[in-house]
Amino acid sequence: MLALDKEERDLLWLRVVEAIERYQKNVDSYPVAPQYQLEDVRRTVEALDFNQPLSAIDAVDFAVAHLTDCQVHTPHAQYFGLFNPAPTTMGIAADALVAAFNPQLAAGSHSPFAVEVERHLVKSFGERFGYSRLRADGTFTSGGQEANATALIAALNHHFPQLRLKGLNSLAGQPVFYMSAEAHHSFLKAAICAGLGANAVRTIAVDDCFAMETGLLARQIKEDKERGLHPFMIVATAGSTSTGAIDPLSEILEIAERNHLWLHVDAAWGGACVLLPELKGLLESCRDADSITFDCHKWLSVPMAAGMFLTKHPDVLDRTFRVSTAYMPVDDEDDLMVDPFARSLQWSRRFTGLKVLLSLAVAGWQGYAQAIRHQVEVGSRLRAALAEAQWKTVNDTPLPVVCFTDDSRSDGSTSEYLERICAEVVASGQAWISTTKVGAAQTVLRACITNYRTGSLHIDKLIQALASARRRVGATAV
């Protein structure tokens, strides 16, 4: 029953391909966020009785029907959300191939093609960030969270070499690291998982542009050292999740060098700027950063999950993660072969790199530059359209993410009003936007161009949805 016969397979592949094609063709006509009751979804799923097997076609139809009805359609051109793109066509094909060929990415000797593809991609992206091809190293990860956790563990081991054997108890004082108040909370999780505790995260306030205040950073490091704490890393964010803020990288680099600290740049989304000649200057200091997080499942639009940890220290992953066992196939003698399991957090893992390879091989750097440039331009168009309709933009970034409040009324920047606007827009099915908190906890509406298909038409629809929300909320205001 695990393998289907030829006839059934032929029907199944056809059904799957049809469903994928139909979704691609129709997704923009669906409500971006379908309305459903969670209890109904749970009841439908729990009604599946595994004592009553389904036919292959019925099982696929069941999945497709509910994927269509019960999810926020992130591939929709009016999804202005959280960096969840419409997947590339080549990425979809690659993920299906990976499932079928199922290469084992733990051991190099099992999957030399897959390992070499990922090595080539890591070096090629490292180069785009300014690393030398010779030294550029890294690993594919499940996403930004794992890449950031990898950075934290690598930096910790680099700074405290005794840690690997003797653990945190061997340290004379508490290790601490620095990030801005707008940095991603995956670092908090990483600090907890690494056993450092949440107090190891030193949060530095941001300026009016939501970028790290480097004066405060330098002062905090000095104070912490005087108190006997052990700083080991600074995290600079290049494209923050809420507002697209880019921390002052060259100043932070200088502070890191002066204090002998590891500099990690979290460029999970904003890193795509290095593919655009007109924007790559923003990330110039990345070439001197010790490590970088970059997510291919964000602005490069490959299907989840595909992150990257990049570093200019070719030996650090090995020093951090190497273990050897008798049951794993051994490296070859001449050291050419690498074993991913011994240089990353994961052990058995899928061939993450293929969806990046096939997307990039077909689009080329130029194709990607075009798509990213288009999204940057649509972001500018959105900013202009919002201003014309009396919405006030509160963030300042070249990246296509806009945070805004309502300039047309006196309560237009209160959290209660903005939450209602957001809920109205989402309920309309016309667009998906969100709220976030920026600066001193001010609530704002947030719209990000995450989709390479989003254009003027979709911006118009968002503006219309906002206008109706404003009318409806206004009509019921006290």
Ligand X SMILES: *Cc1c(COP(=O)(O)O)cnc(C)c1O
Q: How many C-beta neighbours within 10 Å does residue 221 have?
A: 22
- Based on the shown chain and the rule CB under 6 A, indicate whether residue 295 belongs to the binding site for ligand X: yes
- With CB under 6 A as the contact rule, the residue among 87, 126, 143, 340 that binds ligand X is 143
User: Looking at 85, 91, 144, 175, which residue binds ligand X (CB under 6 A)?
Assistant: 144
Residue 268 as a binder of ligand X (CB under 6 A): the answer is: yes
Cα 377 from chain centroid (whole Å): 21
CB of 447 to ligand X, least distance (A): 16
With CB under 6 A as the contact rule, the residue among 266, 290, 406, 424 that binds ligand X is 266
Exactly one of 74, 78, 88, 145 binds ligand X (CB under 6 A); which one?
Answer: 145
Partners of 436 in the beta sheet?
444
Size of the site for ligand X (CB under 6 A): 14
Contact between 247 and ligand X by CB under 6 A: the answer reads no
The distance of closest approach from Cβ of residue 467 to ligand X in the complex, given in angstroms and rounded to an integer, is: 30
Least distance from C-beta 278 to ligand X, angstroms? 22
Name the residue number minimizing CB distance to ligand X: 144
| 111/186 with CB nearer ligand X | 186
Site string for ligand X, 76-95 (x = CB under 6 A): -------x------------
Contact track, ligand X, 158-197, x by CB under 6 A: --------------------------x-x-----------
Residue 269 binds ligand X (CB under 6 A): yes
Q: Which of 220, 241, 291, 428 binds ligand X (CB under 6 A)?
A: 241
Give contact residues for ligand X (rule: CB under 6 A).
83, 143-145, 148, 184, 186, 237, 241, 266, 268-269, 295, 307
